[in-house]
């Protein structure tokens, strides 16, 4: 069960940053990444 907690701790920030980047990208199409 501990491995899932570690996996969550690693993956959650990644998905969080990607989600924010995707949201900002949709909001401001001028920013080209």
> Are residues 31 and 25 in contact, defined by beta-carbon separation less than 8 angstroms?
yes
Chain centroid to CA 24 = 12
Q: What per-residue confidence (pLDDT) applies to 33?
A: 54
Question: Beta-carbon neighbour count of residue 25 at 10 Å?
Answer: 13
> pTM of the prediction?
0.52
Q: What per-residue confidence (pLDDT) applies to 14?
A: 93
Q: What per-residue confidence (pLDDT) applies to 31?
A: 58
First to last CA, the chain: 37
- Reported as a single tens digit per residue, the pLDDT across 1-33 is 799 999 999 999 999 999 998 888 888 777 565
């Amino acid at each position: 069960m501990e491995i899932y907690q570690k996996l969550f701790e690693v993956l959650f920030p990644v998905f969080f940053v990607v989600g924010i980047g995707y949201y900002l990208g949709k909001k401001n199409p001028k920013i080209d990444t």
